[in-house]
Structure 1
Amino acid sequence: MTLNHVRFLSFGIVLLYTTIVRAENVQDRAPSNGSRVLRRSDGLQRSRINEPTVLRSQRIVDQRAASLMRLAAASQKSGTAKKPNILVIFGDDIGIPQISAYTMGMMGYRTPNIDRIAKEGAIFTDSYGQQSCTAGRASFILGQEPFRTGLLTIGMPGDPHGIQKWMPTIADVMKTQGYATGQFGKNHLGDRDEHLPTNHGFDEFFGNLYHLNAEEEPEGYFYPKDPEFKKKYGPRGVIKSTADGKIDDTGPLNTKRMPTVDEEFLAAAKDFIDRQHKADKPFFCWFNSTRMHVFTHLKKESLGKTGMGIHADGMVEHDGMVGELLKQLDDLKIADDTIVVYTTDNGAEIALWPDGAMTPFRSEKGTTWEGGMRIPMMVRWPGVVKPGTVYNDPISLIDWFPTLSAAAGVADIKEQMKKGFAGVGGKEFKVHLDGYNFMPYFEGKEKKGPRDTVYYFDQGGNLNALRWNDWKLSFASSKGNIATGTREVTAWAMITNLRMDPYERGLEEGGEAIKFLAQNMWLLVPIQGKVKEFFADFDQYPYQTGSTLNPAGINYGMLRQQDAMKRLKELETMKPSR
C-alpha cells in the first residue's frame, strides 16, 4: 500500500471517529429504557445493554477502520497492486537426474544455480511435459493439449504446420495486463513469418526456429550442394523480430556459432529485462536455451569442466547461464518481485548417449512411458511459494498458462477463453484451455493440486495412456526411441500404480503382475469417463490436426474414407426439403 493510501485511510478513520462520537452523544441524550434496539441485516431485532460511549465508539471505529483497510487492500490487489515480473527458463532435452537438486550430485557434478530456484521456492516430483520438443513448448505457451493444436511433433523447415492465429499464447494474455513480452532462444513452433513469436503476443524475439541437428544438416556430407535446394528446403537463420513486423535474419546457426549462441540469447534476454526495469514495466521473459539438445558443440572453456563427458560439461555451462539471470534479478533488486520458473520440454533423450541425458524412468523422449514425459520443474515465487517446498501432486506444462495468467491478474482465464477473450490489437480468441490454475494451491488455499489426470498422446496423435490420480493405464506403448519406435497395442490396458512403481518395471519384472492387473480392472470404468471428459466439447472449439514425419499412414483406406465423406455430403444435398 502506498503512502498516499495510508494518509487517505488515516484521514478517513479520524473523520469516521468524529462522526460516530457525535452520533453516539446524540443517542445517549435520547430517551432510553436502559437498552438500545439494534437491527440486524436479517431484519430481526436484538437488544444490547448500554456500554460507555467512548468504548462503544471505539469498538465501532475499530470495526469500520478494519472494513476500510480490507476494502483498500482488496482494491489495491484487484487493480493497483504491482504486477509480478515473470521469468521462465527452459532447458532442452534435460532429464530429471541432470539437475542435482533431484540427485544430490550423483551424476558427478552439481547445478547450484538451478538448485537455488528449488531451494528458494519449490521442486516438483510429478511434473510432466510432452514426448517431443515442439509438443512440450506448445503445451506451455498455448495452455492446450498438443492434440488440440496439432503441434505434436518436431517441425521441419518450410512446414506450414505451426502456431495458428486462433491460438492464444501466455504473451497474448500478458499484453492485456500491461506487460512487456520477450522470447529468446529456441522457438520450434513453426518457421514461417506467420509463426514467429512476434505475431503471437511477443514484443520482441531473438532465437532459432529448429532443433539443433536440423540446423546442422546443411554441413552434412550428403547434403545437396545446390544453393537452390538449400534455399527451398534448408533452415532459416537465427531470427531477430519485433511486433511491428521487422524481421532480421542474423545468419545461420552453424556448428561454428553453436558453442556460443546461448550467450547471444542470454545477452538479449538480460538486455530486455534491464530495459523493462528502467521503464518500470512488468515483464514476461521466456528464455529458451539450446542446451542440451544434440549435437552438443561447446567452447574450449567449457570442455573438460566435469570430467564426466560433453553432456555434463554442457549442463554446467547451462547452469552458469541460469545463474547469470538470477544474479541480474538480485542486482536490480527485483528478485522479490519476480516469479522464476525452470523446466524443460520433454523427457530425457537417451538415444545418442553419451551426448544425451539419462533417467531412471522407463524409456525416453519420443515415447509415452514416464521417461518420455516426466521433466524437471521448479518455481521460485516470493510471497506465494514457501522456500524448500516439495510438491508431489501432478502438474503439467499446460498448467502454467492459467497459473501465470492468474498471477498477472486474470484468475478466470479458462472461463474467459471459453466465452471469448479480447486480446490487444483487435485479436479475438475462443478456445478450450486444458491447464489448471495452481495459484490457490501454491498459496495454501487448497490442500490438493487441481490436476488429477494426465493424457499421454504420442507424436502421431494417438492416446497411448492416461494417468488418473496415482494410476496409469497404458492402452498402447512404444518400443524403441524417438526415431525407431513402434507402437504396440495390448489386449488389455496395462495398469501401473505410479506411487508403487514410478519406473514402470512391475508389469515386466514383477512376479504377480498379471494378478495385480486382473484385480484392478475396475479402473477401466472411471478411466473411460476421463477420456470422454476430454473429448466432450472438442468439436465446439477450433483445432488443428497433427502432422507426421512418416507418410506410412497414406494408403487406399484413407482415400476410400475421403470418398465416403464426399458421397455423404452429396447425399445430404439430395435430401428432400420439408
Structure 2
Amino acid sequence: MKHKTKFASLLLIVMLLSLFVSAQQNKKPNIVFILTDNLGYGEIGCYGGGLTRGAATPRIDALATQGMRLLNMNMEAQCTPSRSSLMTGRWAIRSGTHSVPFGGVADGLTQWEVTIGEALSEAGYSTGYYGKWHLGSHDGRLPNDQGFDEWYGIPRTTDESLWPTATGWSPDIMPAEMTMEGKKGEKSTPLKQYNVDERRIIDAEITKRSIAFIEKQSKSGNPFFTYVALTQPHLPTLPNPAFSGKTGNGDWADMLAEMDFNVGQIIDAVEKAGETENTIFIFTSDNGAEFLKPWDGWSGPWRGAYFTALEGGMRVPFIIRWPGKIGAGHVNNEIVHGVDMFATLAKFTGAKVPSDRPMDSDDQSDFFLGKTQKSAREGFPIWCAERLTAVKWRNWKMHFLRQDNMFDPPVKNPVPVIYNLFTDPREEKPTPDSWVVGPMLKIVGEFDQSVKQYPLISMGTPDTYVPPFAKINSDKKVK
C-alpha cells in the first residue's frame, strides 16, 4: 500500500512538472522594443562608434553579443513614416503618414489603421507606450486610442522644445507641445510644457515609467509589450543634468552615455523581473543620423542623413535578443526593413495580421531564429515624403531622384542612377550594372498594382473616411 502511495505521489509530481514545462513552453514571449530618435548607424560601439564618438556604450554593446546584430536594417527616411510603418506593417505612403506633419492638417494614423499595439492587445498582451509618438496629436489618434493600455510622452517632436525660448514665439500663435499621459478608454491628460528643461529629463522619465510597467506586468502573469520611444539623440541633443559634463567630451558624448545607461536600466529591470529568457528585446533607431547643426550625428561608412534615400538616411542599428531562441553573437548583412516588425512579432506571439488590406510586412521569424540564413526580403521601394525616390535590391540601389540632404530640392535624374553598395557604399560612383533594373522595377510594379486595388489616402484624411476594404466595429475601429 505504501509503495502504491509513493508511486502515486511520484506520478503526480511528474504530471505537475510536465504541466509546468508545457505551460512555460506555451507561454507567450514578452516584448521590449526600444526605438531611439535619429540615432545614426555609426553612433554606438558595436557599430564603430562609442569611444570614437567620445563615450563608450557597454550595455548596448553587450546586448549585441547576446543576440543578433543586423548590418542592413532599414527604416523609412523620416520620423513619422518610419514610426507608421513599424506600427502598421504598411508603407507609410498608404496611410497618409509619408511625411513629418508641420501643422494645418489632421496628423497621424486614422483610427481604421490596425497597429501592432492593437494586434498584441487582442492576443492577450498588456501594452504600454512611453516616449515620442509622432503619429497623431489629438484624442482619437494618441497611443491609448491605438491599442496601448497606457502611455506617457510627447505627441509630436523634440525640436518643439525650443519654441518657448524662441524669439517672437507666443503660445497664442502656436501652443507649446505638452508632455502627456493617458489610459485606454480615457482622454489623454496634458502634464507639462515641453521646453528645454523638460527635454533634458524626459528620457529618464520614459525609462522610469517603462521599468514600472515591466515590473507591474511581470507580477500580473500577462505577457507584455513595452514600446520605449526614447527622444535622444534628436535635436536639441542635450543630456540629462546627471550626465552633463560626465564624459568631458561634450553634449553628444554625454547623451550617448545617458542613452546607454537608460537601456541598461531597462535590461536590468527585465532580468530582476525574472523575464529575460522569455522576453524579445529589440534596440533600433527610427531613421538615419541627426543632421541639423550644431548637433551632428554620424552615419558610419554611409553617406547622407534623414529625409534622403541615401544609406545614411535609412540604414540603422538593430539588435534583437531572445535567449535560447535567437543565436548569441550572430551578425548578418541580409536586408530587413522596419515594416517587417509587424508580421514578425505577430508570428512570435500568435497575433493576427490584417487580411483585408495590403500588408508590406515580411515575416522574418525564421531568419531571426536561425532556421534560414536568408532574409524574407530582397529589396524595397524608398519614398522621401510622397516621392518614390529609389529602390534597393540586394546590394544595389537605383535612384530616380537626387537629393543629398533635406534642404536640397529633389532633382529628377535624366536616367535612373545605379550604385553597387559593396563597391561604393557612399553612393558616389554609378555602376553600369543595368541588369538589376529588372528586379527593381518588379518591386515598383507590384506596389503600383496594389495601389490600383487599394488607393492611397492623403495626409490629413479624417477618420470619417473609411476605405472600401475596411470594416468598422461599434468602437469605430477596424478589425
Query: Same fold by TM (over 0.5)?
Result: yes
The separation in 1 between residues aligned to 2:97 and 2:300, in whole angstroms, is 25
1:256: how far off?
1.9
Contact 2:105 2:459 in 1 (8 A): no
Q: How does 1:114-193 map to 2 (within 5 A)?
A: 114-156=60-102, 159-193=105-139
Q: Is structure 2 residue 59 aligned with structure 1 residue 113?
A: yes
Please tell me the residue identity of whatever aligns with 2:258: E
Please tell me the residue identity of whatever aligns with 1:373: M
Structure 1, unaligned runs of 5 or more: 11-68, 419-429, 508-515, 548-578
The separation in 2 between residues aligned to 1:117 and 1:326, in whole angstroms, is 9
The separation in 2 between residues aligned to 1:352 and 1:174, in whole angstroms, is 39
Q: Is structure 2 residue 165 aligned with structure 1 residue 219?
A: yes
1:158: how far off?
6.3
Q: Is structure 2 residue 43 aligned with structure 1 residue 98?
A: yes
The separation in 2 between residues aligned to 1:335 and 1:533, in whole angstroms, is 40
Q: Is structure 2 residue 222 aligned with structure 1 residue 278?
A: no
The 3 A distance-change label for structure 1 pair 216 and 5 is farther
The separation in 2 between residues aligned to 1:470 and 1:96, in whole angstroms, is 17
The separation in 2 between residues aligned to 1:310 and 1:534, in whole angstroms, is 43
Q: Deviations over 1:477-503 (max 9, x none)?
A: 203x32x12111111111111222222
The separation in 2 between residues aligned to 1:354 and 1:308, in whole angstroms, is 14
Please tell me the residue identity of whatever aligns with 1:111: T
- Report the equivalent of 1:82: 27
1:133: how far off?
0.9
- Report the equivalent of 1:444: 370
| Alignment partner of 2:429 out of 506, 509, 512 | 506
Please tell me the residue identity of whatever aligns with 1:132: Q
- Report the equivalent of 2:475: none
Contact 1:348 1:359 in 2 (8 A): no
Q: Is structure 2 residue 343 aligned with structure 1 residue 402?
A: yes
Contact 2:302 2:426 in 1 (8 A): yes
- Report the equivalent of 2:7: none
Contact 1:350 1:358 in 2 (8 A): no
Contact 2:139 2:187 in 1 (8 A): no
1:76: how far off?
6.7
Q: How does 1:154-553 map to 2 (within 5 A)?
A: 154-156=100-102, 159-223=105-169, 225=170, 227-229=171-173, 233-410=174-351, 413-414=352-353, 417-418=354-355, 430-459=356-385, 461-479=386-404, 481-482=405-406, 484-507=407-430, 516-517=431-432, 520-541=433-454, 543-546=456-459
SS of residue paired to 1:257: helix
Please tell me the residue identity of whatever aligns with 2:434: M
Contact 1:92 1:344 in 2 (8 A): yes
SS of residue paired to 2:417: strand
The separation in 2 between residues aligned to 1:542 and 1:164, in whole angstroms, is 15
The separation in 2 between residues aligned to 1:331 and 1:91, in whole angstroms, is 23
Contact 1:159 1:191 in 2 (8 A): no
Please tell me the residue identity of whatever aligns with 2:106: P
Please tell me the residue identity of whatever aligns with 1:536: Q
Contact 1:159 1:190 in 2 (8 A): no
Please tell me the residue identity of whatever aligns with 1:337: N
The separation in 2 between residues aligned to 1:228 and 1:524, in whole angstroms, is 53
Please tell me the residue identity of whatever aligns with 1:462: R
The separation in 2 between residues aligned to 1:356 and 1:471, in whole angstroms, is 25
SS of residue paired to 1:183: strand
The separation in 2 between residues aligned to 1:450 and 1:349, in whole angstroms, is 30
SS of residue paired to 2:192: coil
After superposition, the CA RMSD in angstroms is 2.4
| Alignment partner of 1:7 out of 5, 15, 22 | 15
Larger RCO: Structure 1 or Structure 2 (Cα < 8 Å, ≥ 6 residues apart)? 2
Q: Percent identity?
A: 30
Contact 1:456 1:465 in 2 (8 A): yes
The 3 A distance-change label for structure 1 pair 353 and 96 is farther
Higher helix share: 1
Q: Deviations over 1:497-530 (max 9, x none)?
A: 12222221323xxxxxxxx42xx22222332222
Q: Deviations over 1:120-174 (max 9, x none)?
A: 0011101101111111111111111111122122123564021111211111111
The 3 A distance-change label for structure 1 pair 76 and 4 is farther
The separation in 1 between residues aligned to 2:444 and 2:175, in whole angstroms, is 40
1:261: how far off?
1.4
Deviates more, 1:528-537 or 1:194-203: 528-537
Contact 2:160 2:194 in 1 (8 A): no
1:358: how far off?
4.6
- Report the equivalent of 2:8: none
The separation in 2 between residues aligned to 1:352 and 1:158, in whole angstroms, is 27
The 3 A distance-change label for structure 1 pair 441 and 222 is same
Q: Deviations over 1:294-341 (max 9, x none)?
A: 112334331222233211111110110000000111111111111000
SS of residue paired to 1:339: strand
1:185: how far off?
0.7
The separation in 2 between residues aligned to 1:5 and 1:544, in whole angstroms, is 59
The separation in 1 between residues aligned to 2:408 and 2:187, in whole angstroms, is 41
SS of residue paired to 1:312: helix
The separation in 1 between residues aligned to 2:214 and 2:279, in whole angstroms, is 11
Q: Deviations over 1:239-274 (max 9, x none)?
A: 111102132111211112221111111111111111
The 3 A distance-change label for structure 1 pair 299 and 441 is closer
Please tell me the residue identity of whatever aligns with 1:189: L
Contact 1:369 1:477 in 2 (8 A): no
The separation in 2 between residues aligned to 1:228 and 1:259, in whole angstroms, is 25
The separation in 2 between residues aligned to 1:386 and 1:98, in whole angstroms, is 24
Q: Deviations over 1:36-63 (max 9, x none)?
A: xxxxxxxxxxxxxxxxxxxxxxxxxxxx
SS of residue paired to 2:375: coil
Q: Deviations over 1:181-206 (max 9, x none)?
A: 00001111110111101111100011
How many residues are paired up?
450
Contact 2:290 2:297 in 1 (8 A): yes
Please tell me the residue identity of whatever aligns with 1:101: C
Deviates more, 1:293-302 or 1:265-274: 293-302
Q: Deviations over 1:322-380 (max 9, x none)?
A: 00000111111111111000001110122314454453311111111111111111111
The separation in 1 between residues aligned to 2:439 and 2:96, in whole angstroms, is 27
The separation in 2 between residues aligned to 1:524 and 1:355, in whole angstroms, is 35
Contact 1:135 1:154 in 2 (8 A): yes
Contact 2:367 2:373 in 1 (8 A): yes
- Report the equivalent of 1:551: none
